[in-house]
């Protein structure tokens, strides 16, 4: 009887993993950044708190785990996102999320001026390129982001 329970649990686990492989992840709709606050500046690292609206059409919550993203402001590569706190996006939702990110400035000449313009609230063209990892239950997916525009 004990072996039957173990076999049932293993079978259910394998079935769940198999079904997760069939799941189609619908694209998140990321809106225009609403708020940018500079929380810190240390050497070439800028810590920002941003508010961004995100719509999740999927029937399950998603967790954005990490990313390898380059940040462009007004067509100048400012740097790359060095660290981003994990973000849990509710299922079938559309709401604003506060995200803390650390941007490593790699282009000191154009990068600092563009980052300053962004923090001051001036209109800036913000774009991201790179990869992010998304998780739902046991399912992980790496999503390529190419020239994704965050502002209008």
- Burial of 110 from C-beta contacts in 10 A (0-12 / 13-18 / 19+): middle
Residue 77 has a pLDDT of 84
Residue 96: band (very low, low, confident or very high) from pLDDT cuts 50, 70, 90: very high
Residue 7: band (very low, low, confident or very high) from pLDDT cuts 50, 70, 90: low
Residue 90 has a pLDDT of 92
Residue 2 neighbours by CB under 8 Å, 6+ apart: none
The CATH class that applies to domain 26-149 reads mainly beta
Find out whether 25 and 141 touch, Cβ atoms under 8 Å. yes
- Does the structure show a pLDDT above 80 at 8? no
* Distance (Å, whole) CA 80 – CA 54: 21
* Distance (Å, whole) CA 106 – CA 44: 8
Residue 38 has a pLDDT of 79
pTM of the shown model: 0.67
Check residues 20 and 129 and name the one with the higher pLDDT.
Answer: 129
Least trusted range by pLDDT, from 44-58, 96-110, 135-149? 135-149
3-state DSSP call for residue 48? strand
Over residues 88-115, the mean pLDDT reads 82
Residue 10 has a pLDDT of 61
Nearest alpha carbon to residue 37 among 52, 24, 29, 47: 47
CA 89 from chain centre, in angstroms, equals 10
What single-letter DSSP state applies at residue 122? -
- Burial of 53 from C-beta contacts in 10 A (0-12 / 13-18 / 19+): middle
């Amino acid at each position: 009887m004990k072996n039957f329970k173990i076999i049932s649990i293993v079978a259910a686990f394998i079935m769940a993993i198999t079904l997760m492989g069939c799941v189609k992840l619908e694209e998140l709709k990321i809106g225009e950044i609403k708020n940018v606050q500079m929380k810190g500046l240390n050497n070439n690292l800028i810590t920002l708190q941003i508010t961004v609206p995100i719509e999740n059409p999927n029937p399950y919550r998603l967790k954005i785990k990490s990313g390898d993203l380059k940040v462009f402001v007004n067509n100048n590569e400012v740097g790359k996102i060095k660290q981003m706190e994990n973000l849990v996006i509710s299922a079938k939702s559309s709401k604003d999320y506060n995200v803390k990110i650390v941007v490593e400035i790699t282009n000191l000449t154009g990068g600092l001026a563009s980052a300053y313009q962004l923090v001051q609230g001036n209109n800036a063209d913000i774009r991201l390129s790179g990869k992010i990892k998304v998780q739902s239950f046991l399912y992980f997916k790496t999503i390529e982001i190419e020239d994704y525009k965050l502002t209008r």
